[in-house]
Structure 1
Amino acid sequence: MSQAFVREREGGEAFEDLPDRAISPHPNFVTAEGLARIEGEVARLQTEFAALKPGAKADEARVTRDLHYWTARLGTARRVDPMPGDVVRFGSTVTILLDTDTRQVFRIVGEDEADPAHGTLSYVSPMARALTGKVIGDVVDVNGHEAEITDIA
């Protein structure tokens, strides 16, 4: 193994310089659930930081970095409550029928709460952008496939 990967840098530990987590340039729109999650992360990290053992530099660096990120996200969070209606917008749950006869259901949420595998899409994702502003019956192109909007909740 190369010494570059195992040797500590002069004057400190290699893990003291963890890079900051990237913060999105987009407005930080969140749902009520997303805001609660951010608040929960800040509280959890503050508790974890207070419980760190002296000399746990790697843990301190990680917790400090994550606490910085989530505190910044909390400070810029703009809660957006869903507006009922027949137009897809932030907070909408949208059902689409793909041209392969597959139905998919997605909720459009903030960037930090998005998890496509669990049915939530970031409002800045290509699919959410394609769906936003559309109504039931509209057809959109999703990754080279057509998808018809069949329900909006």
Structure 2
Amino acid sequence: MDRPIYITPEGLDALKSELDHLWKKERPEVVAVVHWAAGNGDRSENGDYIYGKKRLREIDRRVRYLRKRIEDAVVVRPEEQPDHSRIFFGATVTYVNSRDEEKTIRIVGEDEADSLNGKISWISPVARALMKSGVGDVVTVRTPAGEDELEILDIRYPA
């Protein structure tokens, strides 16, 4: 592990929920299908058996990953950040870029990132550029498309 696995309490709950679903619901269903398919004779051309074993390996791989991430997670409660006038992990930030596009994002852990819902990883270029800045600051971020300037309009933390 080369960097800490920061995560919000909500993110940790989501990982635990996914693990619970895979282990208690999905895996037993796939095991039942594989058991049934194994009883149908020749396994070399048995699609249900072959697909079921493949799916079982995928589930087991994801379960191992989730258990390790949960075990190593460092939970950061955004509301407990020491300085709410600056951007740190868990902050919700509104900024305007050099094309006058206003965006609101939340800085979260790698396992929580979901750009379609405005959640970006704390290790992303945008988050790294914003860190420790305050309202009114202008930061430069390097992206694959080139450099962009972001002016910070608002910083919020959960209550």
**Which TM-score bucket, shorter chain as reference?**
0.7 to 0.9
User: After the TM superposition, which residues 91-106 of structure 1 pair with which residues of structure 2 at under 5 Å, given as runs?
Assistant: 91-106=90-105
The CA RMSD over aligned residues, in Å, is 1.4
What is residue 3 of structure 2 aligned with on the other side? 26
* Superposed structure 1 runs of 4+ greater than 3 Å apart: none
1:78-127 Cα shifts (integer Å, max 9, x gaps):
11001261000000001111121110111000000001121011001111
* AA aligned opposite 2:153: T
The answer to whether residue 140 in structure 2 is matched with residue 141 in structure 1 is yes
What is residue 117 of structure 1 aligned with on the other side? 116
What is residue 18 of structure 2 aligned with on the other side? 41
Partners of 2:104 and 2:4 in 1: CA distance: 24
Deviation at 1:137, TM superposition (A): 0.9
What is residue 68 of structure 2 aligned with on the other side? 72
For normalisation by structure 2, the TM-score amounts to 0.77
Give ranges in structure 1 of 5+ residues lacking alignment: 1-23
SS for the counterpart of 1:107 is strand
For normalisation by structure 1, the TM-score amounts to 0.80
SS for the counterpart of 1:62 is helix
Bigger helix share: 2
Give ranges in structure 2 of 5+ residues lacking alignment: 36-48
Partners of 2:16 and 2:99 in 1: CA distance: 40
Partners of 1:57 and 1:101 in 2: CA distance: 51
Count of matched residue pairs:
130
* AA aligned opposite 2:138: V
The answer to whether residue 60 in structure 2 is matched with residue 57 in structure 1 is no
